[in-house]
Structure 1
Amino acid sequence: MATRIIRPEPTPSAPVELRHIMGELYVTIQLKKDYIEAKWQGHITADNVVCAAQAFLEFLRKNPCQKLLNDKSEVTGDWQEANDWLQFEWLPQALGAGLRYLAHVYSLSMFSKLAARELEERITPQLSMKNFYERRLAEEWLLEQEDTAAGQRAARA
């Protein structure tokens, strides 16, 4: 009889909170049941987006997951200048760490919305990204995406 190794499910890491120099929270990154969530708030800049993307990469390496819910529904600000860095630096690292799907919830801010649209054009089809006006729809789409790692685990069992 073959030995079967049983590993406990990874425990969720503590949320990562990033704050402006004056102490205002601008993003919380946390592991949910089926995805990683980045929940943004307040006024953000391209520098904030780059810092958060770097923190996300560290979090993703510790908590492998194929799905990111990037909720910017409560932000203002123009972060479009971060898109070059996101496309050429962040994207290859995120793909290498296993990210496959990104559901993005639009801000009401036109500048933020335009930045998200441009980012989607830049990084798809390498990463399956879709923008949404409602968080509920973004989460539904994300949960519908095939988790290839889970499918591979089930096929081996």
Structure 2
Amino acid sequence: MAIEREECRSELAEPLQLSHMLGDVYVTLQQKQDYIEAKWSGHITANDVVCAAQAYLELLRSSGCPKLMNDKSDITGDWQEANDWIQFEWMPKAVAAGLRYMAHVYSHNMFSRLSARDLLTRLTPELCMQNFNEREEAEIWLAGCDTLLPPAGRAASA
């Protein structure tokens, strides 16, 4: 049984940038050919993660793109307080909107890494998610997701 390759429906003309009150951008959301990218920077909080997740959900609903590259390699901060909300509020909506695969690139910041590890345990197996030390590894994994079995509860296309 073959799995149909899922493509994103359209590309954003401009990246969507979310910033703090003083103007520093903490995340840029951009649709690529095969995935939506969330590229984070600076010091982030749980509130930043919630705001970005809501913005991402709107983009996901309009594009139907099943893959997320969540690159937090350039951030600091403990955002673990957002994980309950992500697990119980955001994830069911994101999966219903079509999210199937998430590649998460670790920050070098210990608190952010711990938050990401906690998130992984909460979101799998409902969502196929992997954490990576390097972005290149995450890109390779995400590109190969077309050949992975779909998460539980989702039938493969013939």
* Alpha-carbon distance, 1:11 to partner: 3.4
Letter in 1 for 2:81: E
State the identity as a percent: 60
Contact 2:26 2:41 in 1 (8 A): yes
Q: Please name the residue that 1:46 is paired with.
A: 46
Contact 2:100 2:128 in 1 (8 A): yes
Letter in 1 for 2:66: Q
Letter in 2 for 1:112: S
* Alpha-carbon distance, 1:10 to partner: 4.0
Q: RMSD between aligned alpha carbons?
A: 1.5
Q: Please name the residue that 2:143 is paired with.
A: 143
**Which one scores higher on RCO, CA 8 angstroms, separation ≥ 6?**
2
1:116-149, CA deviations, whole angstroms, 9 ceiling, x for partnerless residues? 000000010000110000000001000100277x
**SS of 1:73 mapped into structure 2:** strand
Tell me, which stretches of 5 or more residues in structure 2 are unaligned? Answer: 1-7, 151-155
Q: Please name the residue that 2:109 is paired with.
A: 109
**SS of 2:10 mapped into structure 1:** coil
Q: Please name the residue that 1:3 is paired with.
A: none
More moved, 9-18 vs 106-115: 9-18
Q: Distance in 1 between matches of 2:10 and 2:130?
A: 28
Tell me, which stretches of 5 or more residues in structure 1 are unaligned? Answer: 1-8
* Alpha-carbon distance, 1:56 to partner: 0.3
Q: Please name the residue that 2:15 is paired with.
A: 15
Whether 1:27 and 2:27 are equivalent positions in the alignment is yes
TM-score (norm 1): 0.87
* Alpha-carbon distance, 1:63 to partner: 1.1
Letter in 2 for 1:11: S
Give the total of aligned pairs: 143
